[in-house]
Chains A and B, each alone.
Chain A
Amino acid sequence: MIDVHVVTSSNRALYAKELDSFFKWRHRIYVDERRWREASPDGRERDQFDTDSATYLLGLDEGELVAGSRLIPTSHPHLLSEVFPHLCAVRGVLRAPDVAEWTRMFVVPGRRERAGHEVAGEMCCALMEYALSENIRQFGGIQETYFLTRWQHYGWHVTPLGLPEEVDGTWSVAAYFDATEEALEGVRRATGIHGSLIVRRGHPRPFVADEDPEIATRRHAA
């Protein structure tokens, strides 16, 4: 199984090599393969959301990067709020410190399956585990509409924010999933993965700051 390391602005010095590999893979996948973005002269793909508010989940296999993902608090500018707000036409763009936007999820080619486990499935387990451990209420983002059947297979509750539209020739939809114990059990059952995948080294910043006024108010009310 892979280990999924939590990397934030506070512990990224420990992950210089892995992060560089992460941005290089992103260039190969999102620029060279999918042509979503212009080529970058340094061969690393970064966008306006790779700021200090981003949290990266890096899937490592014996130290080598095989998968990656990025989480951004929706209280900050994020892909749906800045680029695809029209996909949220029915329910509106979500903005809350404990709702995370999940983007740049990939598994490197050639490592998409490993010892009978789909690495993507391991990443989904890790995402749900991380969300629960950090008091994230919901996470999600723009995705291919057919991904929705995968979440159903995991027993996740899906909330779309609007109707699907064609984005670069693919029907895509904005949707979030609830982070719950049942959802974690469901994805573990469906993928046959047991136990924790998340690794924290150094001091990764908590996703939801305790001092966040909105969260404090909600905790107080509860």
Chain B
Amino acid sequence: MTDIAGLTLGFFERCQEYRDAQSVLDGLASHARQIGFDHFIFTGRPGPTERAEALVLLNGWPPEWFERYATRNYFAVDSVSQWALRTTEPFAWGEVPVELSSAQASQRVAEEARDFHLRDGFVVPLYSAHHWQSAISFASSHKCDLSVRERGALIMMGVVAGMSVRRIVGERPRPAKLSNREREVLGWASRGKSAWETSSILAISENTVIEHLREVRRKLDVATTIQAVAEGIRRGEIDRLCQSPYLVPDGLRHPSVTFDPRLAEEA
């Protein structure tokens, strides 16, 4: 018999030391597998007009299933997701109140999930210090009758993974890669100033501004200046200069801060 408690506390300890989201994802995946959960997803609670997939922080779902779930907006009808938003208590998928789970649309999602070997699972709702709500859902390919120890282990794993991702993704400042002048130029761009306007503000030539912006895009590895602004905010490069409140990132809720392993692979 595996020592779930010892393994989980070992994972808890390691997870606090991880410095990037990929390590948390890999660590959680391998630990969850050891106790019979092959898949999991960690997502923020979407606002009324937001799409849930933009808030996914750790994605350990089969890619095909995730894509279908996102494109068909299953989040809105899946009773597991819906109950995760309403409760603060951890729950097994089978414990979702029957008023929600008996809905036809929800049952269809559950059936399709089984085709991807997501048959049963356990959800851990999480709260951050600033009431940022999220939940992590673990999925298993078979029916599970979870013991108190297994539930305790999943709660512990969910809490520490959530804590760690929050620490990593919310962590700022990182080592500044942009020069002061580049940050300044990007800061004005973030406030909607054109290259010409920025050149008059800073009393430099328009060509110099364009040159700075090109260098900024290269350093931030993005194609457009708009993307550079988003990336600059994400990295904490320009929030010192960025005065407009709507540009200040709201922690993890900013879509550019989400983490998708498939993107990491490409990069």
Chain A interfacial positions (CB closer than 8 Å to B): 89-91, 145-146, 148-150, 152-153, 157-160, 162-166, 171, 173, 190
Contacts and interface: CB of A to CB of B under 8 A. Distances in A.
Given A146-B159, A148-B163, A90 B16 contact: no
Contacts of A162: 5, 9
For chain B, what secondary structure do more than half of its interface residues adopt (helix, strand, loop), or is it mixed?
A: helix
For chain A, what secondary structure do more than half of its interface residues adopt (helix, strand, loop), or is it mixed?
A: mixed
Contacts, number: 61
A90 B166 contact: no
Nearest to B88: A146
B254 to A, nearest CB: 18
Contact of A149 (B4, B12, B129): B129
A168 to B, nearest CB: 13
A160 B148 contact: no
Contacts of B9: 90-91, 160, 162-163
A149 B162 contact: yes
A107 to B, nearest CB: 15
Closest 4 CB pairs of A and B: A163-B152, A153-B129, A152-B163, A164-B152
A166 B153 CA distance: 12
A90 B129 contact: no
Nearest to B130: A153
A31 B51 CA distance: 44
A164 B156 contact: yes
Interface residues of B, number: 28
B250 to A, nearest CB: 16
Most buried by A among B13, B16, B128, B156: B156
A160 B9 CA distance: 7
B216 interface: no
17 contacts: A90-B5, A148-B160, A149-B126, A149-B127, A149-B129, A149-B162, A152-B16, A157-B16, A158-B16, A160-B9, A162-B5, A163-B8, A164-B152, A164-B156, A165-B148, A171-B152, A171-B155
